[in-house]
Amino acid sequence: MKPVRTHRPGVPASPEPPDRLLELADAIRNPLVIQSGVTTTADGRWALYVTVPADANVPIPSVESQAGGYPVIYEAEPEEPPRAGPAYPKRKS
């Protein structure tokens, strides 16, 4: 299976993620993981969030074992960084 292109998190079941999940997000190690953090699943459960190459096969067993029982959301790393534009573009007069 390939990672999702865009993850759409659900409304969190609790206001703050568990401390242990935050620690796991900082400590996750795997050569395929480009970025890691915390998100929620579509149904609002707190989850580990990782970006991986778009052609990676997921789930990744070593990432799953490091996740400590939390769900893991795999998102494809974009080919190019997002393009930032001006916050207040000039308006035509």
Q: Phi-psi bin for 69: left (phi > 0), alpha (psi -120 to 50), beta?
A: left
d(CA 30, CA 43): 27
pLDDT tens per residue, range 24-70: 999 999 999 999 999 999 999 999 999 999 999 999 999 999 999 99
Threshold 0.85, pTM exceeds: no
Nearest to 77 by CA among 60, 56, 48, 46: 56
DSSP state of 85: -
